[in-house]
C-alpha cells in the first residue's frame, strides 16, 4: 500500500511539472469559512473525486474583463472537474497561453458537499506607455518605429520583447552590422498605473565587410564566374559599384543557391556545397570559405514522350529543341516545357489550343555514367472553354471599354497567349497602373470550363500639358493644353458626370495653345474615337490647327512680316490580324494652307503667296511592349508613307519661267519615315533600349526642288518652336543645341534625309501610380543631309550622356539630360559640347 501511495505521489508531481508553466501554480486550500473551528478541506490524492463548479471569481485583474478571463480558462459554473486532477492544470495553461498574465494561480475557495468554489488569482502584465531608442540616429529611429510596430497601450509580453529585439537586430545586420547587440530595458512608468517604458539600447559595432571569398574543390569552373553569380555577396575590391561588399546572412544563403543553380545549368546535376564557413579577418572584415563538390557534367541521351495523343513525338521534340548529347540543364528544360520567353514552349503549344488542364512531368528514368534518359509524362486533359470573364477595380472606365479590348471572350477556347496579350492591351490603354494588373483564372475540370477574372487599379490618365523649352531663335516657348485621354462624348448631357469633364468611354479630347508672346501662337483641337461604330477597333480622328508667326521689329515691336497656317486632318485606323494582332494601320488625309505676307525669315526666295498641301498618309505600325511608360520587353515598329498629288507631272509649263510662288502653290513630295525600338531586360532590373530612326523626302519631278515647307531638323531636346519650324519634323539629338544639326547649304530650311541611332541603359527608381521615375545613360548618333547625292550613312554626329525621366499622370513625361556632343556642326561652331536639355510633356524620339 505504501508503495502505491509513493508511486501515485510521484505521478502527481511529474504531471505538475509537465503541464504547468514556471510562473503558474495550483493552490488548493479552504478560505472563507465563518466558523473558527473549520479546517481546510482534505483532498485525498490517492482517491480523486468529482466536484461540480458552483462559483468562479477572479482576483488581481484590474484592467482585464473578469468574465472574459473565466471564458479563456475553459472552466464554467456547472462543469464537473476532478480534484485532484488535470482539469485545473489545463485551465492554467489556457490562461497562460494568452500572454496577458505575469502569474496565474487557481485555488479552492470552499467545498460544500459535491460543490466547489474556485478563485482565479493572477497578476496582470504591464502595458506599454512609451518607448525610445538609444545609440542610433534619428532617421533610423523613424524607420525602426515603423518596423517594430510597438503600439502604446498594448500589453508587453515576452513575445513582444523578443520580436522587437529580432526586428532591430535584423535591420542592422542587413546594413552589415553583423555583431550588433540589442538590449531592451523595462522601466516602470510612474505617471500611469500598470505601465512600463521600454528603452531599446543598440550597440551597432563596426560594419562588417567581406574581405575575401575563397573556393575549395573548384576545378571545372572559373572562380570569377562563381563570384559573379553571387549577386549580393561581394568581396571588397573590383568594380562592385552597385553592390557593396556587405555581409547579409539572408542574401548569402540565396547566393549559395545561385552557385548550385549555375553548376546545374552547365550540366553538373550533382554539384553541392559540402561546407561553408565564416571567419574573422579583422574587426571590420570577414572571409567566406566555400567547399564545393562539383561532380561531373551530364548530358541528355534519350528523351521519350508518354501520354501524348494530340501532337506527335516528332513535333514535341522539335518544339522542345533539345538533342541527344546536349548538356543537361534542368533550368533550361523547365523553360522549354513551361514558359520560354524566347519562343514557343510545350505548355504554350497545348494551352494556346485550349488544353488548360495540360500537365507535363519530366522524369529521370536512367542515369548511366554521364548520360541521362528522360521520360516526358504528359497529361493532356480536355479543352477548356471560357465561361465567364469579369473585371474588378475600374472605378472610372466603363466596363464595355475594357471588355472590348479583351482577347479572352466567353465561348472561346482558352489560350495562354491571349491571356498575356490581354494583359499587355490593358497596360497600353493608359488608364490602369501596369504594375497592378492582375489575372486570376478558376478552372472547372469537371465542366471543362474556366472563369477568368481581371483586376485593375485606375490611375489618372488626363493631363494638364505644360511643355516648355528654350530655343536659340525664339527664346522661351511654352505650351498649355488639356488632354483628356478617357473622355466620354455620350455623357456630355449628364451634368453629374462632369468631373471636370465626362469620363469613361476611352475617347481622347485635346485642346492646346503654344505661344511666345506676339511673335507666334498656335492653336489646335483634336478628337479621337478608338472604336468608331462600337463594334470593331476602328479609330476615327479629327483635328484642327491654326498658327500665326510674325516677324517683329526688335526696337519698335511692329509687325514686319506674317506667316499664317491653317489645317485640318481626318484619320481612320484599324487593327490588323496579319502578320499578327500587334499590327495596326492608320490612313489619313490632311489639308494645310500657308499664307506668307512679307515673310522672309526662313524660306528661300519665298516671302509672299498662298501655298496649299493635300497629303495622303499611311502608317503601318506594330507594338508589343509590355508598358507604354517604362517598357521592359517587346518592340515597336512604324513605317509611314506620306504622298501628295504629283501636280508637276501634269503641269506642262516651263519650270524656269515659274516664280517660287507659282512652283510651290501646290506643294508636292513623297515622304518615308521608319522608326524601330527594342527593349531587353538585363540583370538587376536594368533595361536596354535600342532605337533606329530614318526619314527621306523625295520629289516626283527631278526638275523641281523639294518644297521648303517640309524638312527634317535635328538637335537638342526635339522641341518645336512654333511656326518658325512650321511643317518640319523636329528630331532630338542630345549634346547639340536645338535645331542646329542641319545641312550647311540648307541651314535655314532643314534636310531631306536623316538617320539616328540611340542606345540607352535604363534603371527604375519607382514605378508606382503617383510617379514613374527612371534613370538612364545613353549614346546616340545622327545626321541630316540635303539630298540623296550627299547622303553618307556613316558620317554621324555623336553624343553621350546621362539623364532622368519622371512620368506624372497629370503632367506627362518630364525629362532632364546632360549630354556631350563630340562632333563639329558646319554653320554652328558652338553648337556641340556639354549641353543640358529639359523637356516637359514630350515622348522621346
- Among residues 501, 527, 499, 502, the alpha carbon closest in space to that of 512 is found at 527
pLDDT per residue over 479-504, tens digit each? 788 888 899 999 998 888 888 788 89
Give the burial string for 426-458 (b: 16+ CB within 10 Å, else e): bbbbbbbbbeebeeebebeeeebbbebebebbb
3-state secondary structure 419-457: HHHHHHHHHHCCCECHHHCEEEEEEECCCCEEEEEEECC
| Count of residues in the chain | 845
Mean pLDDT, residues 784-794 = 93
- The yes-or-no verdict on residue 473 having pLDDT over 60 is no
Percentage of the chain lying above the pLDDT 70 cut: 89
* Residue 604 pLDDT grade (very low, low, confident, very high; cuts 50, 70, 90): low
> Which of the pair, 827 or 758, is modelled with greater confidence?
758
CA distance 52 to 117: 9
Report the range of poorest mean pLDDT among 48-52, 315-319, 392-396, 405-409: 48-52
Q: What is the pLDDT of residue 242?
A: 54
CA distance 587 to 765: 39
Q: What is the pLDDT of residue 19?
A: 37
Report the range of poorest mean pLDDT among 165-169, 308-312, 747-751, 841-845: 841-845
Q: What is the pLDDT of residue 243?
A: 64
> Which of the pair, 840 or 242, is modelled with greater confidence?
840
DSSP character at residue 74: T
- Among residues 546, 530, 697, the alpha carbon closest in space to that of 615 is found at 697
CA distance 713 to 733: 10
Report the range of poorest mean pLDDT among 38-42, 533-537, 707-711: 38-42
Q: How many Å separate Cα 174 from the centre of its chain?
A: 24
Mean pLDDT, residues 702-708 = 81
Q: What is the pLDDT of residue 59?
A: 84
- The yes-or-no verdict on residue 429 having pLDDT over 50 is yes
> Which of the pair, 313 or 535, is modelled with greater confidence?
313
Give the burial string for 387-420 (b: 16+ CB within 10 Å, else e): bebebebbebbbeebbeebbbbeeeebbbbebbe
- The yes-or-no verdict on residue 108 having pLDDT over 70 is yes
pLDDT per residue over 350-370, tens digit each? 999 999 999 999 999 999 999
Q: What is the pLDDT of residue 718?
A: 79
Mean pLDDT, residues 89-101 = 79
Q: Residue 713: which residues within 8 A CB-CB, separation 6 or more?
A: 725, 728, 729, 730, 731, 739, 741, 742, 750, 751, 784
pLDDT per residue over 284-304, tens digit each? 888 999 999 999 999 999 999
- The yes-or-no verdict on residue 812 having pLDDT over 80 is no
Strand 49-59 to 80-83 pairing: antiparallel
Q: Residue 113: which residues within 8 A CB-CB, separation 6 or more?
A: none
CA distance 640 to 675: 9
CA distance 314 to 197: 73
User: Could you give the C-alpha distances from 621 to 404, 576, 578, in angstroms and in order?
Assistant: 21, 10, 12
Q: What is the pLDDT of residue 390?
A: 94
Q: Taking the model in full, what pTM does it have?
A: 0.65
- The yes-or-no verdict on residue 240 having pLDDT over 70 is no
Inter-axis angle of helices 87-97 and 2-19, to 10 degrees?
Answer: 10
Phi, psi dihedral angles at 121 (to 5 degrees): -105, 125
3-state secondary structure 550-573: EEECCCCCCEEEEEEEEEEEEEEE
- Among residues 689, 674, 673, the alpha carbon closest in space to that of 634 is found at 689
pLDDT per residue over 649-687, tens digit each? 888 788 778 888 888 889 999 999 999 999 999 877 899
- The yes-or-no verdict on residue 511 having pLDDT over 70 is yes
Phi, psi dihedral angles at 183 (to 5 degrees): -135, 130
Q: Indicate the Cα dihedral angle 119, 120, 123, 128, nearest 10°.
A: -140
Q: What is the pLDDT of residue 20?
A: 39
Mean pLDDT, residues 539-548 = 94
Q: How many Å separate Cα 5 from the centre of its chain?
A: 73
CA distance 749 to 713: 8
Question: For residue 588, what are the β-bridge partners?
Answer: 571, 617
- The yes-or-no verdict on residue 3 having pLDDT over 70 is no
Cβ–Cβ < 8 Å for 799, 782: no
3-state secondary structure 169-226: HHHHHCCCCCCCEEEEEEEECCCCCCEEEEEEEEECCCCCEEEEEEEECCCCCCHHHH
pLDDT per residue over 730-784, tens digit each? 899 999 998 889 998 887 788 999 999 999 999 999 887 778 899 999 999 999 9
Q: What is the pLDDT of residue 605?
A: 72
- The yes-or-no verdict on residue 717 having pLDDT over 70 is yes
Q: What is the pLDDT of residue 637?
A: 95
* Residue 457 pLDDT grade (very low, low, confident, very high; cuts 50, 70, 90): very high
Domains in the chain (CATH in brackets) are 2-124 (3.10.20.310), 127-203 (3.10.20.310), 209-293 (3.10.20.310), 299-379 (3.10.20.310), 385-455 (3.10.20.310), 463-840 (2.40.160.50)
Q: What is the pLDDT of residue 577?
A: 87
pLDDT per residue over 27-60, tens digit each? 443 333 333 333 445 666 667 888 888 889 888 7
CA distance 380 to 350: 8
Q: What is the pLDDT of residue 221?
A: 93
pLDDT per residue over 174-201, tens digit each? 887 888 899 999 888 888 877 889 999 9
Report the range of poorest mean pLDDT among 19-28, 92-101, 589-598, 744-753: 19-28
Mean pLDDT, residues 623-644 = 92
Q: What is the pLDDT of residue 776?
A: 95
Amino acid at each position: 500500500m505504501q508503495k502505491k501511495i509513493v508511486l501515485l505521489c510521484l505521478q502527481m508531481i511529474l504531471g505538475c511539472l509537465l503541464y504547468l508553466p514556471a510562473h503558474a501554480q495550483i493552490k488548493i486550500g479552504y478560505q472563507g469559512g465563518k466558523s473558527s473551528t473549520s479546517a481546510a478541506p482534505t483532498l485525498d490524492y490517492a482517491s480523486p473525486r468529482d466536484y461540480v463548479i458552483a462559483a468562479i471569481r477572479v482576483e488581481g485583474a484590474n484592467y482585464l474583463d473578469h468574465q472574459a478571463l473565466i471564458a479563456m480558462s475553459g472552466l464554467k459554473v456547472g462543469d464537473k472537474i476532478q480534484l485532484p486532477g488535470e482539469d485545473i492544470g489545463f485551465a492554467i495553461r489556457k490562461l497562460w497561453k494568452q500572454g496577458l498574465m505575469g502569474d496565474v494561480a487557481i485555488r479552492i475557495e470552499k467545498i460544500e458537499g459535491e460543490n466547489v468554489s474556485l478563485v482565479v488569482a493572477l497578476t496582470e502584465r504591464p502595458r506599454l506607455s512609451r518607448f525610445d531608442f538609444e545609440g542610433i540616429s534619428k532617421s533610423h529611429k523613424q524607420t525602426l518605429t515603423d518596423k517594430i510596430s510597438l503600439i502604446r497601450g498594448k500589453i508587453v509580453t515576452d513575445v513582444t520583447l523578443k520580436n522587437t529585439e529580432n526586428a532591430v537586430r535584423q535591420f542592422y545586420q542587413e546594413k552589415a552590422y553583423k555583431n550588433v547587440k540589442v538590449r531592451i530595458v523595462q522601466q516602470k512608468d510612474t505617471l500611469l498605473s500598470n505601465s512600463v517604458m521600454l528603452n531599446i539600447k543598440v550597440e551597432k559595432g563596426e560594419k562588417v565587410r567581406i574581405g575575401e571569398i575563397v573556393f575549395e574543390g573548384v576545378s571545372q569552373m572559373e572562380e570569377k564566374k562563381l563570384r559573379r553569380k553571387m549577386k549580393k555577396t561581394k568581396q571588397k575590391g573590383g568594380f562592385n559599384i552597385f553592390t557593396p561588399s556587405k555581409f547579409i546572412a539572408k542574401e548569402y544563403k540565396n547566393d549559395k543557391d545561385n552557385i548550385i543553380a549555375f553548376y546545374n545549368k552547365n550540366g553538373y546535376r550533382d554539384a553541392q556545397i559540402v561546407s561553408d564557413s565564416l571567419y574573422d579577418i579583422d574587426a571590420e572584415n570577414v572571409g567566406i570559405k566555400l567547399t564545393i563538390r562539383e561532380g561531373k557534367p551530364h548530358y541528355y541521351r534519350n528523351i521519350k514522350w508518354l501520354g501524348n495523343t494530340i501532337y506527335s513525338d516528332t513535333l514535341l521534340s522539335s518544339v522542345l529543341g533539345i538533342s541527344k548529347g546536349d548538356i543537361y540543364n534542368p533550368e533550361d528544360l523547365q523553360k522549354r516545357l513551361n514558359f520560354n520567353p524566347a519562343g514557343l514552349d510545350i505548355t504554350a503549344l497545348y494551352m494556346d489550343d485550349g488544353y488548360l488542364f495540360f500537365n507535363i512531368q519530366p522524369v529521370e528514368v536512367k542515369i548511366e555514367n554521364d548520360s541521362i534518359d528522360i521520360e516526358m509524362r504528359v497529361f493532356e486533359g480536355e479543352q477548356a472553354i471560357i465561361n465567364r470573364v469579369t473585371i474588378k477595380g475600374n472605378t472610372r472606365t466603363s466596363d464595355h471599354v475594357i471588355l472590348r479590348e479583351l482577347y479572352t471572350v466567353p465561348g472561346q477556347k482558352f489560350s495562354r497567349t491571349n491571356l498575356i496579350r490581354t494583359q499587355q492591351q490593358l497596360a497600353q490603354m493608359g488608364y490602369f497602373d501596369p504594375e497592378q494588373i492582375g489575372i486570376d483564372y478558376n478552372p472547372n475540370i469537371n465542366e471543362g470550363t474556366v472563369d477568368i477574372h481581371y483586376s485593375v487599379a485606375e490611375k489618372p490618365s488626363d493631363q494638364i500639358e505644360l511643355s516648355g523649352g528654350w530655343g536659340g531663335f525664339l527664346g522661351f516657348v511654352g505650351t498649355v493644353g488639356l488632354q483628356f485621354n478617357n473622355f466620354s462624348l455620350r455623357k456630355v448631357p449628364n451634368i453629374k458626370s462632369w468631373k471636370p469633364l465626362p469620363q469613361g468611354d476611352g475617347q481622347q479630347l485635346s485642346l492646346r495653345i503654344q505661344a511666345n508672346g506676339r511673335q507666334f501662337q498656335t492653336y489646335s483641337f483634336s478628337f479621337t474615337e478608338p472604336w468608331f461604330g462600337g463594334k470593331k477597333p476602328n479609330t476615327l480622328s479629327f483635328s484642327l490647327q491654326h498658327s500665326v508667326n510674325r516677324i517683329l521689329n526688335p526696337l519698335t515691336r511692329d509687325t514686319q512680316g506674317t506667316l499664317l497656317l491653317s489645317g485640318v486632318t481626318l484619320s481612320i485606323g484599324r487593327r490588323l490580324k496579319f502578320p499578327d494582332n500587334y499590327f495596326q494601320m492608320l490612313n489619313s488625309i490632311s489639308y494645310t494652307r500657308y499664307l506668307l505676307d512679307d515673310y522672309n525669315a526662313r524660306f528661300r526666295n519665298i516671302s509672299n503667296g498662298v501655298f496649299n498641301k493635300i497629303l495622303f498618309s499611311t502608317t503601318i505600325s506594330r507594338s508589343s511592349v509590355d508598358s507604354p511608360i517604362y517598357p521592359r520587353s517587346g518592340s515597336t515598329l512604324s513605317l509611314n508613307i506620306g504622298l501628295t498629288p504629283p501636280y508637276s507631272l501634269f503641269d506642262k509649263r516651263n519650270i524656269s519661267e515659274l516664280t517660287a510662288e507659282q512652283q510651290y502653290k501646290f506643294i508636292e513630295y513623297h515622304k518615308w519615315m521608319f522608326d524601330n525600338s527594342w527593349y531587353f531586360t538585363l540583370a538587376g532590373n536594368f533595361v536596354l533600349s535600342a532605337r533606329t530612326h530614318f526619314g527621306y523626302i523625295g520629289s516626283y519631278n527631278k526638275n523641281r526642288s523639294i518644297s521648303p515647307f517640309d524638312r527634317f531638323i535635328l538637335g537638342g531636346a526635339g522641341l518645336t518652336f512654333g511656326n518658325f519650324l512650321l511643317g518640319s519634323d523636329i528630331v532630338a539629338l542630345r549634346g547639340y543645341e536645338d535645331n542646329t544639326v542641319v545641312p550647311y547649304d540648307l541651314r535655314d530650311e532643314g534636310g531631306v534625309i536623316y538617320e539616328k541611332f540611340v542606345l540607352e541603359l535604363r534603371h527604375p527608381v519607382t514605378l508606382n501610380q503617383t510617379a514613374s521615375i527612371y534613370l538612364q545613360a545613353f549614346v546616340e548618333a545622327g545626321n541630316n543631309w540635303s539630298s540623296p547625292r550627299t547622303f553618307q550613312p556613316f558620317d554621324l554626329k555623336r553624343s553621350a550622356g546621362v539623364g532622368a525621366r519622371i512620368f506624372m499622370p497629370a503632367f506627362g513625361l518630364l525629362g532632364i539630360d546632360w549630354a556631350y556632343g563630340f562632333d563639329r556642326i558646319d554653320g554652328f561652331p558652338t553648337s556641340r559640347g556639354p549641353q543640358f536639355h529639359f523637356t516637359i510633356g514630350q515622348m522621346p524620339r
